[in-house]
Chains A and B, each alone.
Chain A
Amino acid sequence: QKEVEQNSGPLSVPEGAIASLNCTYSDRGSQSFFWYRQYSGKSPELIMFIYSNGDKEDGRFTAQLNKASQYVSLLIRDSQPSDSATYLCATFTYQLIWGAGTKLIIKP
């Protein structure tokens, strides 16, 4: 059974700090990795994808991938209250496998 694991949280971070979200996966054949943000009652919104080991930066967001250790993380710099949401990690082999998400709360 292919799995993606995330800490459900909530993860509480002060405004302006760095939020660090982590995800581990079981399928070593996973090729691509995705972070989605989901506000309550809304559909998931793609933030970033990564498929090579190392870091990928996009504005305040950095995705980090370590295939040997089978984890992928998302860093959010200068956290804003509007970043408060559930963050979903997904991996792709022949279909997307999703984690249950981490609830992030940014405290003003």
Chain B
Amino acid sequence: ETGVTQSPTHLIKTRGQQVTLRCSSQSGHNTVSWYQQALGQGPQFIFQYYREEENGRGNFPPRFSGLQFPNYSSELNVNALELDDSALYLCASSPGLAGVVYEQYFGPGTRLTVT
């Protein structure tokens, strides 16, 4: 157990709808990253938040947005859902932008299915 929690575990949505996924980071961690993982592929970086500010973004459209709260928990919002958004969404927390080493600890993930 990493101490990182995500909700919900599973979610089914219809194309065009909006979804919010939630993540609580490990105690003492102030950085949260979100990833999308399609079946049989490695995680794809969506974005990262450090102390409530977006601190890097991958190649995802603006309909993917996020927030980090003062307690360092985070949300991922996806608007106008598309079928290709069906994936495992992973949240990872880490203890800040500390030098070279940057280990991340993952939550259990949210499985999103878009029909």
* Residues in chain A within 8 A of chain B (CB atoms): 4, 8, 31-32, 34, 42-46, 49, 51, 88, 90, 92, 94-101
Contact = CB atoms under 8 A, between A and B. Distances in A.
B103 A42 contact: no
A51 B101 CA distance: 7
Nearest to A46: B103
* Size class of the contact patch on chain B: 20 to 34
A49 B90 CA distance: 20
A31 B42 contact: no
Interface string B36-55: 00001111110010000000
B48 A34 contact: no
A95 B48 CA distance: 9
Nearest to A101: B42
Contacts of A96: 33, 43, 45, 102, 104
Interface stretch (B11-19, B67-75, B106-114): B106-114
A32 B94 CA distance: 14
A43 B106 contact: yes
A43 B101 contact: no
A95 B45 contact: yes
Contact of B109 (A43, A98, A101): A43
